[in-house]
Amino acid sequence: MKSLIIKVSDRLEALYITSFHSVRILIILLLGIASYANSFSVPMQFDDETAVRISTDFSIDLYSFEGFIRKNRWLTDMSFALNRLLHGEQVQGFHLINLAIHLSSAVFIYLLVHRAIEALKLNFRISLAADCYPFLQCFIPFTTAALFVCHPVQTQAVTYISQRYTSLATLLYLSSLLSYLLARISFADKTKKLRIWSWGPACFFLALLAMKSKEIAFTLPLMIVALEVLLFRGRLLKNRLFLALAAGLLLIIPLQLMYIQGSVSAENMLDQMQLATAETQTISRVDYLLTQFRVVATYLRLLILPVNQNLDYDYPVYHSLIDPAVFAALLLHIALIGSAIALFIRSQRCLTTGNLPAGIAMRLACLGIVWFYLALSVESSLIPIRDVIFEHRVYLPSVGFFMAAAAAMAGFAAHRRRYRNALWSATVLLSVGLTASTIARNRIWSDSMVLWQDVLDKSPNKARPRHTVGFLYVKKFMPEKALPYLVRAVEIEPGKDKYRIILNSAISLLSRYNGRCSAGMEYQATVDKVKPAYKNEWSAISYNNLGLAYEHLGNMFLAQENYQKAVTLNPYLDFAWYNLALVAVRRDDSFTVAGILETLRTLNPPLERDVSNLIRKQQH
């Protein structure tokens, strides 16, 4: 009789859970659509044009097998190419695909967490009280997916077109893990061998595509290990499915490297791996790691309190572990990792002794913490990246954060019906509030000038936002407004050729300086690179134009200094000598004027006559 009651109870639970799957998924989708409904007209921002256009105009044929092997982000580049084929440069098509990827990821999160709970139930042979298990099975997956889909920190991965690299890799990452869970659950049930042969290869294939979308997917084998350890019982080395998949996935990276480089020795491969795991040489691995202690703490703050979001943070690079900010962040991470270990130990006791709701909640909270740090390990560890922080990097790790948060809340309220009702209400209110914040954030994204003025307000001492605001004014043919921003960007990063190129363009647009400047385009290889053979000639023009910018802003001392640098680099640059003479005339420096007139008489007699006429007019 008792066994019959348990079977009926289990059947009712299963019916209750499955009957409302579609409703909960529909709510998640509606939250996502509401959050990003105002993002379809957002123009291409930052490096969107570079990612969408240049990434698909690659020397290797994108549609060939060689292109698949050699291009690290082949699948995402292929999706951009298809977008361009279907929609041209219309941004609505790009945003539609980005949103579809985001919504699909949210659905896969729901299914993945749901299957994780089912794996725990089957593996530990759990039979819960009828009112507890449905709550855990409903609340944790729904809350994890709902918070993920509408949280404003995700806007950089969804609204920012080029970060499809992140969102598509995340979608495939999640689908691969879900396939592994389905195969693993079938593996535990010896009667479902056909499902193993279906979901096992699907896991490997989806993982391969994820790795060809963005490098963050290289943590997939380790995440499979985490799922195996935290959700299943038994020895890893006896699990043939696990060993086969993990070995295959771990071989993808070195095999691809060997194919690209040809036949290489072990030493050459190590050298290539060294180069492949350092985007920049200006930040050491140790300094980058120390900085990431603080950066990851910032990610946690943004997930808890998403205020003061910024597209381009002005984040310092830290050099010492004993720096108070770095040490405090390290203690926070140690505490969270220690909490994960404690949760694992306590959940093991609960799952084996009968305190089942607490055991499931603790185990999923542990998995969430492990997920968060493991998913961040590619971009926030010992692999130096030029920009130490970007919000889109927390897109995949945020799944773990929301899973841990949902599990913690569910574990607290599992045995108390009134607490469960209050928790559902709080989840609804929180989702609505986050949706409103995402809508507001997308309004800022909808106008390039508004977005970069927002960045400039939050990062006033960084060159890139000042340059970008100036560049936007140049695109609007407003060089007078552009010059203060462009000049300041060059002052902050004087060695950045790209900034000087745009400054040259702005000066060329000012008709009052006709004959006194050149854009120097004949010395450029591309729109942002200078031909190395003509570096001195171009630099001389650049210093001359910077002098004109200072003259326009009323700083004659810096104007003269830059004109002098121009003629020092290129003594034959006649208009730089001319500009230097005009400044000397204004400063009544007759000795300097006399020397310049001698030079101009040789280089460009008409300019010498102009200066002489100006002197005569001043004398009269």
**Phi, psi at 175, each rounded to 5°:** -65, -35
The yes-or-no verdict on residue 3 having pLDDT over 70 is no
Residue with tokens 């749901």: 114
The yes-or-no verdict on residue 549 having pLDDT over 50 is yes
The yes-or-no verdict on residue 104 having pLDDT over 60 is yes
User: Looking at residue 8, what is its pLDDT?
Assistant: 44
**pLDDT confidence tier of residue 269, bands split at 50, 70 and 90:** low
Beta carbons within 10 angstroms of residue 532's beta carbon: 8
Query: Between helices 91-123 and 164-188, what is the axis angle to 10°?
Result: 20
Sketch out the chain's domains with CATH numbers: 20-444 (no CATH), 461-619 (1.25.40.10)
pLDDT winner (highest mean) among 43-47, 219-223, 340-344, 523-527? 340-344
Tell me the Ramachandran region of residue 462: left when phi exceeds 0, alpha when psi lies from -120 to 50, beta otherwise. beta
User: Looking at residue 278, what is its pLDDT?
Assistant: 65
Mean pLDDT is lowest, of 10-14, 139-143, 179-183, for: 10-14
**pLDDT confidence tier of residue 270, bands split at 50, 70 and 90:** low
**pLDDT confidence tier of residue 39, bands split at 50, 70 and 90:** very high
Beta carbons within 10 angstroms of residue 564's beta carbon: 16
The yes-or-no verdict on residue 66 having pLDDT over 70 is no
User: Looking at residue 349, what is its pLDDT?
Assistant: 86
**pLDDT confidence tier of residue 5, bands split at 50, 70 and 90:** very low
Of the candidates 603, 601, 607, 582, which has an alpha carbon nearest to the alpha carbon of residue 593?
Answer: 582
Which alpha helices (DSSP H) does 193-323 contain, by range? 193-211, 220-231, 240-261, 266-276, 285-304
Query: Between helices 479-492 and 497-509, what is the axis angle to 10°?
Result: 160
Share of the chain above pLDDT 70, in %: 83
Of the candidates 29, 36, 31, which has an alpha carbon nearest to the alpha carbon of residue 427?
Answer: 31
Cα separation of 551 and 214, whole Å? 47
Summarize pLDDT for 349-386 with one digit per residue, the tens.
888 776 777 888 999 999 999 999 999 999 998 888 88
User: Looking at residue 434, what is its pLDDT?
Assistant: 97
CA distances from 257 to 165, 245, 263 (A): 20, 20, 10
The yes-or-no verdict on residue 311 having pLDDT over 90 is yes
CA distances from 534 to 23, 120, 158, 377, 527 (A): 65, 66, 41, 42, 15
Mean pLDDT value of segment 550-554? 92
Of the candidates 98, 76, 174, 169, which has an alpha carbon nearest to the alpha carbon of residue 371?
Answer: 174
Mean pLDDT of the chain, nearest integer: 85
Query: Between helices 220-231 and 240-261, what is the axis angle to 10°?
Result: 170
User: Looking at residue 519, what is its pLDDT?
Assistant: 87
User: Looking at residue 191, what is its pLDDT?
Assistant: 54
Summarize pLDDT for 320-335 with one digit per residue, the tens.
999 999 999 999 999 9
The yes-or-no verdict on residue 6 having pLDDT over 50 is no
**pLDDT confidence tier of residue 56, bands split at 50, 70 and 90:** low
Torsion sign, CA atoms 5, 11, 14, 20: negative
Residue 604's SS3 state is coil
Of the candidates 21, 15, 126, 177, which has an alpha carbon nearest to the alpha carbon of residue 358?
Answer: 126
pTM of the model: 0.89
Mean pLDDT value of segment 37-47? 89
CA distances from 388 to 102, 393, 572 (A): 24, 10, 43
Mean pLDDT value of segment 274-287? 76
Cα separation of 278 and 285, whole Å? 8
Q: 530 has which bridge partners? A: 524
User: Looking at residue 59, what is its pLDDT?
Assistant: 53
Cα separation of 492 and 314, whole Å? 12
- pLDDT: which is higher, 120 or 56: 120
Mean pLDDT value of segment 108-118? 94
User: Looking at residue 267, what is its pLDDT?
Assistant: 54
Residue 315's SS3 state is coil
Of the candidates 348, 333, 346, 344, which has an alpha carbon nearest to the alpha carbon of residue 366?
Answer: 344
User: Looking at residue 243, what is its pLDDT?
Assistant: 65
Summarize pLDDT for 125-180 with one digit per residue, the tens.
665 544 577 788 889 999 999 999 999 999 999 999 999 999 999 999 999 999 98
Residue 253 and residue 218 in contact, taking contact as beta carbons nearer than 8 Å: yes
Mean pLDDT value of segment 447-452? 94
Of the candidates 459, 365, 361, which has an alpha carbon nearest to the alpha carbon of residue 410?
Answer: 361
Residue 469 and residue 479 in contact, taking contact as beta carbons nearer than 8 Å: no
The yes-or-no verdict on residue 264 having pLDDT over 60 is no
The yes-or-no verdict on residue 478 having pLDDT over 90 is yes
Cα separation of 156 and 99, whole Å? 12
Torsion angle, alpha carbons of 405, 406, 408, 412, to 10: 140
Strands (E) across 13-141 are located at none
- pLDDT: which is higher, 102 or 425: 102
Which alpha helices (DSSP H) does 493-555 contain, by range? 497-509, 535-552
User: Looking at residue 563, what is its pLDDT?
Assistant: 93
User: Looking at residue 127, what is its pLDDT?
Assistant: 59
Structure tokens, 110: 């729901």
Cα separation of 564 and 581, whole Å? 10
